């Protein structure tokens, strides 16, 4: 009898995927607290169903390629195009067809702690992961767009499995592998979303290392972006070996 269970006990039971008979009994329980917990449970089910539906929708491009016989589809994305310092980092990820980590999404939509967690899970479950870097010197030499393409190509080359299809976030690279240029791909493809997480976390880790070398610039928190603390350090201490000389305000202030 559910009446012998406290509301807190019922709440805990509802978090453990209860069977249908238990739910039927709860519906007959007259206690207001029980009915509130039952409503909350129903809302969670609806949210979970929607989350799964959106996740499956983000596999639509991959499934088209899989059905066409291209089993190895690599999603590609980058992190760090806008900062004043540090490299641009790209990642390529090939996911298994049964990948079911529903929380994988555009890295910009996730908290830092969630990205760290998913980063580890992606490395565990992906069929292959490749990472590519273009440092600030290459960025200054060829521009950020071309440097990003270079990092993406390096990420694909680093894969231990040769992909049969690429899905790239809003860019194209020099390769014989068929590629789909997809706007906002990190929000439309799970493979690209996984790549966005790997690229972002990889770059964040690197910027934390640079923070240990140049602590005045606060790289561990700003990741090289032009925050007030970063700009103050630039004004008082000048540039470091990892700053992008072709980016403003560095170009105007230090290379007039």
Which residues are part of a known binding site? Answer: 77-78, 169
Q: Is 103 exposed, middle or buried (0-12, 13-18, 19+ CB in 10 A)?
A: middle
Say if CB 70 and CB 61 are below 8 A apart: no
Residues 6+ apart with CB under 8 A from 163: 72, 73, 74, 92, 94, 156, 177
Neighbouring C-alpha atoms within 13 Å toward the C-beta of 129: 18
The two tokens of residue 203 are 């770059």
Q: Is 31 exposed, middle or buried (0-12, 13-18, 19+ CB in 10 A)?
A: middle
Radius of gyration of the chain, Cα coordinates, nearest whole angstrom = 23
Instruction: Detail the residues annotated as belonging to a binding site for a divalent metal cation.
Output: 77-78, 169
Give, for 74, the enclosing helix (H) or strand (E).
Answer: strand 73-79
Nearest 5°: the CA angle 219, 157, 58 is 75
């Amino acid at each position: 009898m559910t009446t012998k269970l406290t509301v807190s006990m019922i709440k805990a039971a509802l978090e453990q995927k209860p069977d249908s008979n238990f739910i039927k009994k709860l519906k007959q329980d007259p206690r207001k607290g029980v009915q509130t917990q039952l409503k909350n449970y129903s809302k969670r089910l609806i949210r979970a169903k929607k989350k799964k539906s959106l996740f499956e929708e983000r596999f639509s491009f991959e499934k088209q390629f899989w059905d066409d016989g291209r089993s190895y589809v690599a999603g590609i994305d980058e992190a760090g195009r806008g900062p004043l310092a540090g490299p641009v980092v790209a990642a390529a990820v090939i996911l298994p067809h049964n990948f079911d980590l529903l929380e994988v999404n555009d890295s910009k939509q996730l908290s830092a702690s969630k990205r760290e967690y998913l980063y580890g899970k992606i490395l565990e479950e992906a069929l292959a992961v490749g990472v590519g870097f273009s440092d600030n010197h290459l960025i200054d030499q060829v521009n950020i767009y071309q440097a990003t393409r270079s990092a993406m190509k390096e990420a694909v080359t680093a894969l231990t499995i040769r992909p049969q299809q690429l899905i790239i976030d809003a860019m194209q690279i020099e390769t014989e592998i068929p590629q789909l240029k997809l706007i906002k791909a990190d929000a439309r493809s799970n493979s690209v979303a996984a790549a966005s997480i790997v690229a972002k976390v990889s770059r964040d880790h690197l910027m934390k290392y640079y923070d240990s070398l140049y602590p005045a610039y606060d790289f561990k928190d700003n990741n090289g972006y032009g925050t007030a603390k970063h700009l103050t350090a630039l004004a008082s201490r000048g540039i470091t070996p990892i700053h992008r000389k072709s980016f403003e305000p560095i170009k105007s202030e230090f290379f007039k």
